[in-house]
C-alpha cells in the first residue's frame, strides 16, 4: 500500500512540474511575441536561415545537433538585429562505460555592423564558461583598472582593442549588468547561457549598439568605410 501511495505521490509531482514548466514556457513565448509586436519585429518558432552555420567560433563550434529556435528579427537603432535560443549536444562516457548526452543552451543577440572588423571578445572577469578561451589570445590590459578587474578582453591586435574600447565605451560597459560579446565579421554577437527573454534582448541590443556607436571614425576608415556610419544598417546581413 505504501509503495502504491509513493508511486502516486511521485507521479503527481511529475505531472505538477510538467504543467508548471509548460505554463512557464508558454508565458515566455507570449512575452517574446508581445515584444515583437511592440517593436515591429518578426518572430519565428523555428530557424528560417540556418543560423548556427552563419558564424564560426563560440558558441557555435562545439557539439552536434546545433539548433536555433524562437528566432526574432528586426532592426535596433538602425542595425539589423537577430536574437534566438541556441542549443547543442555533447556525449560523454564515464569510467564504467555509461554514455551520457548533455544539452547546452544559450541565448544569442546579434547586431549587424556596417563592415567586417577584426576578432574581438569581451567577457565579464571571473565568469567560468566552457567557451571562455574561444579566441585563444592573451588578455589585454586597458587603461581603466576598474574595467580590467571586471572584464577580460581578447583580440589579436591590442591597438584595435584599445581603439574600440575607448574610455567612454568602457564606462558604458561598466555601467551595464555584465555582457559577453564578440565581433564576428560584420556582426556583433552577444551570448550567454540560458534562454532568451525580452530583457536579455533589449539589454544586449542597447549595450551592443552603444559599443558600435563608440567606434572611432578612423577605425571605420581603416576597414573600408569612407566616413563614420550614423545608424547605417547593412541590409541582408542578418536576413
Per-residue pLDDT band for 21 (boundaries 50, 70, 90) equals low
* Residue 119: closest CA among 154, 151, 147, 150: 154
pLDDT at 135: 45
> What is the average per-residue pLDDT within 115-136?
70
Neighbours of 110 (CB within 10 A): 27
Query: Looking at per-residue confidence, does 6 or 81 come out higher?
Result: 81
Neighbours of 75 (CB within 10 A): 19
Confidence check: pLDDT of 63 > 50: yes
Separation in Å, CA 101 to CA 50, 63, 89: 23, 10, 7
pLDDT at 131: 45
- Domain assignments of the chain as residue spans, ordered by start: 1-40, 42-222
Residue 51 DSSP one-character state: G
Q: Which of 5-14 are b and which e, b meaning 16 or more Cβ less than 10 Å from the residue's Cβ?
A: eeeeeeeeee
Whole-number CA gyration radius for the chain: 21
Pairing of strands 120-124, 181-184: antiparallel
pTM for the model: 0.81
Q: CB–CB of 172/214 below 8 Å?
A: yes
pLDDT, tens digit, 9 for 90 and up, residues 91-105: 988 877 788 999 999
Amino acid at each position: 500500500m505504501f509503495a502504491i501511495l509513493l508511486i502516486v505521490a511521485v507521479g503527481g509531482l511529475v505531472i505538477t512540474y510538467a504543467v508548471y514548466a509548460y505554463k512557464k514556457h508558454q508565458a515566455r513565448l507570449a512575452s517574446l511575441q508581445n515584444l515583437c509586436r511592440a517593436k515591429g519585429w518578426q518572430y519565428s518558432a523555428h530557424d528560417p536561415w540556418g543560423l548556427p552555420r552563419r558564424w564560426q567560433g563560440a558558441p557555435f563550434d562545439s557539439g552536434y545537433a546545433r539548433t536555433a529556435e524562437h528566432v526574432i528579427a528586426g532592426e535596433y537603432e538602425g542595425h539589423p538585429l537577430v536574437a534566438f535560443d541556441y542549443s547543442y549536444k555533447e556525449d560523454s562516457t564515464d569510467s564504467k562505460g555509461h554514455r551520457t548526452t548533455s544539452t547546452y543552451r544559450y541565448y544569442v543577440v546579434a547586431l549587424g555592423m556596417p563592415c567586417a572588423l577584426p576578432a574581438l571578445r569581451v567577457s565579464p572577469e571571473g565568469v567560468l564558461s566552457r567557451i571562455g578561451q574561444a579566441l585563444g589570445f592573451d588578455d589585454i590590459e586597458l587603461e581603466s583598472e576598474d574595467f580590467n578587474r571586471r572584464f577580460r578582453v581578447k583580440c589579436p591586435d591590442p591597438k584595435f582593442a584599445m581603439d574600440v574600447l575607448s574610455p567612454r565605451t568602457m564606462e558604458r560597459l561598466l555601467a551595464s549588468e555584465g555582457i559577453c560579446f564578440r565581433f564576428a565579421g560584420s556582426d556583433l554577437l552577444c551570448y550567454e547561457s540560458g534562454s532568451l527573454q525580452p530583457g536579455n534582448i533589449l539589454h544586449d541590443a542597447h549595450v551592443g549598439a552603444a559599443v558600435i556607436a563608440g567606434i572611432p571614425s578612423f577605425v571605420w576608415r581603416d576597414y573600408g568605410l569612407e566616413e563614420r556610419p550614423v545608424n547605417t544598417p547593412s541590409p541582408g546581413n542578418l536576413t
